[in-house]
Amino acid sequence: MEQKVNYQKQLDAILERICGEGKKPALLLHACCGPCSTYVIEYLAQYFDITVYFYNPNIHPASEYQKRLESIKRFVQTFPSAVQNKIKFIEEYYEPEDYFAATKVREEPELQTEPERGERCRRCYEFRMKKSWEYAEKNGFDYFTTTISISPCKDAKKINDIGLALKSETKLQYLVGDFKKKNGFLRSLQLSKEYDLYRQTYCGCVYSKQNMQNCSKSSEHQCVFAL
Rounded to the nearest angstrom, the gap between the alpha carbon of residue 150 and the centroid of all alpha carbons in its chain is 8
Within a 10 A sphere around the Cβ of 188, how many other Cβ atoms? 28
- Among the listed residues 210, 217, 227, 213, the one whose alpha carbon sits nearest the alpha carbon of residue 60: 210
Cα–Cα distance between 100 and 97 in angstroms, integer? 5
Burial tier of 2 (Cβ tally within 10 Å: 0-12, 13-18, 19+): exposed
Cα–Cα distance between 149 and 178 in angstroms, integer? 5
- In one-letter notation, the amino acid at residue 101 is A
Domain ranges of the chain: 7-217
Rounded to the nearest angstrom, the gap between the alpha carbon of residue 199 and the centroid of all alpha carbons in its chain is 15
Judged by DSSP in three states, 142 sits in: coil
| Reported CATH class of domain 7-217 | alpha beta
Judged by DSSP in three states, 182 sits in: coil
Q: pLDDT truncated to tens, each residue of the chain (227 aa)?
A: 577 999 999 999 999 999 999 999 999 999 999 999 999 999 999 999 999 999 999 999 999 999 999 999 999 999 999 999 999 999 999 999 999 999 999 999 999 999 888 999 999 999 999 999 999 999 999 999 999 999 999 999 999 999 999 988 889 999 999 999 999 999 999 999 999 999 999 999 999 998 777 765 543 333 334 43
pTM of the model: 0.93
Strands 26-30 and 143-146 turn out to be parallel
Are the CB atoms for 30 and 146 separated by under 8 Å?
Answer: yes
